[in-house]
């Protein structure tokens, strides 16, 4: 997949374009992608996703994001998009009049523009679906995608993650929620009690579910491990900052500096404060058995 940072960078050819934040690339976004790919095949032109980094609500409402830009690009490539334009979404960009955004789209020479029916753009969200008809012969405005009568949207996925409901989030995403990051040095307490963990560094603002989870971790060379993750503040040892720690089953070695992708499969329990390290170790033993049981059929 080819990637650009502005519409002016790409070749001067006709396109079919989907526009939006695509935060999480959930089932609703995947429906947009399917439509843009179908229209691109029909017109024999590239399928293009024009998206924003960070997602618009991160800047305008201060919410956490579901996908970092590399995660989003990986997903868009996986779902078969030909090209992505990932524009930096700043206060200055948000303040531009709608005409400036329409000019961006004209640069892409779209045969068709595909958006959600509630799509707005430009300063004060002044632009809407009808304005898009000024830059493309065809505008496809898809209604809110639903699953089991529930609207599929990034806001709802963030709500589910906030309660630890990774199963519910996964249903709306169409895959297991995941987080990618580099293994960094922690205080190595887990090693001293027989439960070594990889401390994963993720960007500030990345949405993470709090609690203990059964997970599958993927290495940067295709390695795959079952394990359990703890996301939280470690109240037993008076932790002050959120940590994302993963214990990999049956693993020995050094992961410092390596990137891991961690997929959240199932919620095991909430974070607890234990009376001491012995009680914590006993609970970790139970957690590990629970995670192994849940992942026994997962390859």
Element containing residue 16 per DSSP (H, E):
strand 15-19
Distance CA 214, CA 243 (A): 16
DSSP strand pairing (15-19 vs 110-116): parallel
Percent with pLDDT over 90 in the chain = 82
d(CA 200, CA 222): 18
pLDDT-derived band at 297 (thresholds 50, 70, 90) equals confident
Would you state the pLDDT for residue 237? 63
115 & 47 share domain: yes
Q: What is the pLDDT of residues 46-93, one digit of tens each?
A: 999 999 999 999 999 999 999 999 999 999 999 999 999 999 999 999
Cα 270 from chain centroid (whole Å): 22
Q: Are residues 116 and 192 in the same domain?
A: no
Domain for residue 233, yes or no? Answer: yes
C-alpha distances in Å from residue 41, one per residue of 27, 36, 48: 21, 9, 12
**Number of domains composing the chain:** 2
Expressed as residue numbers, the domain containing 49 is 2-151
Cα 94 from Cα 80, distance rounded (Å): 28
Question: Rounded CA gap, 60 and 62, in Å?
Answer: 6
What is the pLDDT at residue 188? 62
CATH of the domain at 256: 2.40.30.30
Query: CA-based angle 37:25:211, to the nearest 5?
Result: 160
Q: What is the 3-state secondary structure (H, E, C) of 105-152?
A: HHHCCEEEEEEECCCCECHHHCECHHHHCCCCCEEEEECCCEECCEEC
Q: Note whether residue 194 is domain-resident.
A: yes
Residue 212 belongs to a domain: yes
| Residue 221 pLDDT | 87
pLDDT for position 240: 64
Cα–Cα distance between 228 and 198 in angstroms, integer?
11
Are 182 and 200 within 8 A, CB to CB?
A: yes
pLDDT over 70 at 239, yes or no:
no
Q: How far is CA 119 from CA 38, 110, 116, 144, 284, in A?
A: 20, 17, 5, 11, 46
User: Could you tell me if 8 and 138 lie in one domain?
Assistant: yes
Tokens of 16: 């079919």
Report d(CA 180, CA 148) in Å as an integer. 29
Is the pLDDT reported for residue 211 higher than 80?
yes
State yes or no: pLDDT of 213 exceeds 80.
yes
- Determine the average pLDDT of the residues in 217-243: 84
Provide the pLDDT for residue 227. 97
Report the Cα–Cα distance between both ends of the chain, in Å, rounded.
Answer: 28
In contact, 155 and 35? CB cutoff 8 Å: no
Mind listing the pLDDT tens digit for each residue in 114-125?
Answer: 999 999 999 999
Same domain assignment for residues 284 and 210? yes
pLDDT computed for residue 275 by the predictor: 78
Q: What is the pLDDT of residue 220?
A: 86
Angle at 75 between CA 73 and CA 78, to 5 degrees: 110
| Residue 119: CATH number of its domain | 3.40.50.620
pLDDT at 190: 61
pLDDT at residue 192 greater than cutoff 70: no
pTM: 0.91
Query: Over 70: is that where the pLDDT of 236 sits?
Result: no
Same domain? 147 vs 188: no
Q: Encode pLDDT of 271-280 as tens digits.
A: 888 878 888 8
Let me know whether 47 and 115 are in one domain: yes
* pLDDT-above-70 percentage for the chain: 95
Condensed to tens digits (0 to 9), the pLDDT of residues 1-43 reads 999 999 999 999 999 999 999 999 999 999 999 999 999 999 9
pLDDT band at residue 144 under the 50/70/90 scheme: very high
Q: Establish if 170 belongs to a structural domain.
A: no
pLDDT value, residue 238: 64
Q: In this structure, is residue 171 part of a structural domain?
A: no
CB 76 within 8 A of CB 49: yes
- The per-residue b/e assignment along 69-91, b for 16 or more CB within 10 angstroms, e otherwise, is bebbbbbbeebebbbbbbbebee
The pLDDT value recorded for residue 34 is 98
How confident is the model at residue 254, as a pLDDT?
Answer: 87
């Amino acid at each position: 997949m080819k990637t650009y940072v502005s519409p002016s960078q790409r070749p001067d050819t006709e396109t079919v374009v989907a526009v939006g934040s695509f935060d999480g690339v959930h089932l609703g976004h995947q429906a947009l992608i399917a439509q843009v790919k179908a229209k691109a095949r029909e017109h024999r032109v590239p399928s293009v996703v024009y998206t924003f980094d960070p997602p618009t609500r991160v800047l305008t409402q201060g919410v956490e994001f579901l996908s970092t830009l590399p995660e989003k690009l990986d997903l868009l490539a996986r779902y078969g998009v030909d090209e992505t334009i990932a524009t930096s979404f700043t206060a200055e960009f948000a303040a531009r009049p709608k005409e400036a955004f329409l000019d961006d789209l004209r640069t892409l020479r779209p045969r068709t523009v595909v958006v959600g029916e509630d799509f707005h753009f430009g300063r004060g969200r002044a632009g809407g679906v009808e304005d898009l008809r000024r830059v493309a012969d065809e505008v496809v405005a898809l209604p809110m995608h639903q699953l089991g009568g529930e609207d599929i949207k990034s806001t709802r996925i963030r709500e589910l993650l906030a309660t630890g409901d990774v199963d519910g989030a996964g249903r709306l995403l169409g895959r297991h929620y995941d987080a990618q990051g580099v293994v960094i040095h922690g205080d190595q307490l887990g090693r001293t009690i027989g439960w070594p963990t990889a401390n994963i560094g993720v960007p500030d603002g990345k949405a993470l579910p709090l609690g203990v989870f059964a997970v599958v971790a993927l290495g940067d060379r295709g390695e795959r491990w079952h394990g359990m993750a703890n996301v939280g503040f470690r109240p037993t040892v008076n932790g002050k900052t959120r940590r994302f720690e993963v214990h990999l089953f049956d693993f020995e070695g050094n992961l410092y500096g390596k990137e891991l992708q961690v997929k959240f499969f199932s919620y095991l329990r909430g974070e607890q404060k234990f009376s001491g390290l012995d009680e914590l170790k006993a609970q970790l033993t139970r957690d590990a058995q629970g995670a192994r049981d849940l992942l026994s059929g997962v390859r």
